Amino acid sequence: MISDKIEKALNKQIAVEANAAFTYLSMASWADNHGIEGAAAFFYTHAAEEHAHMMKIVHFVNEVGGKAVIPSVPQPAETYENITEICKKAYKHEQQVSKSIHAIVELAQQENDHVVDEFLRWFVAEQKEEEVLFMRVMDKIKIIGEGGQSLYYIDKELNAMNAAAVAAAAAKPTAN
């Protein structure tokens, strides 16, 4: 059984993950509408991942005697200046998600809730991977540049990163 405080924090995290899923879905749609198929695939994959993270928390809260609350989600942005803006926002977004997860870990440790603490370890590792990924995306954009022809190479890089992530996820055993 989880405490009311932790249940509330985990329900807030469900909303954070749902918001992330819809934010990435919006980014993917924007890229799709601008002919940037590699970036679209990259962000569609991230939207699906964030949805899976949300579902993982929903199931966990219900399994440990809490009640998962399904949130309404604010409308994400529909337009962006360019792919660089999207990637910068995605990186900042991942940092915020990490901060939120870390706060729940601290709460679980304060309450000596080892079950929640252990459950969140997977999310801590996942967030580290996400932040590193988006730092690398930003590094690639700095190397490639931001002009019109550069967009072609950025799109190819995002497509390759997406393909690698999809292959790695397929090879990795799922953690429930």
The sign one gets for the Cα dihedral 77, 53, 156, 88 is: positive
Average pLDDT rounded to a whole number, residues 139-154? 89
pLDDT band at 174 (very low <50, low <70, confident <90, very high): low
Distance of alpha carbon 67 from alpha carbon 86, whole angstroms? 34
Return the CATH number at 135. 1.20.1260.10
Residues 6+ apart with CB under 8 A from 57: 10, 13, 14, 17, 68
User: 34 lies in a domain?
Assistant: yes
The pLDDT tens digits of the residues spanning 48-81 come to 999 999 999 999 999 999 999 999 999 999 999 9
For residue 25, pLDDT beyond 80: yes
- Residue 146 has what pLDDT? 81
Residue type for position 111: E
Distance of alpha carbon 165 from alpha carbon 176, whole angstroms? 19
For residue 151, pLDDT beyond 70: yes
Residue-number span of the structural domain to which 116 is assigned: 4-171
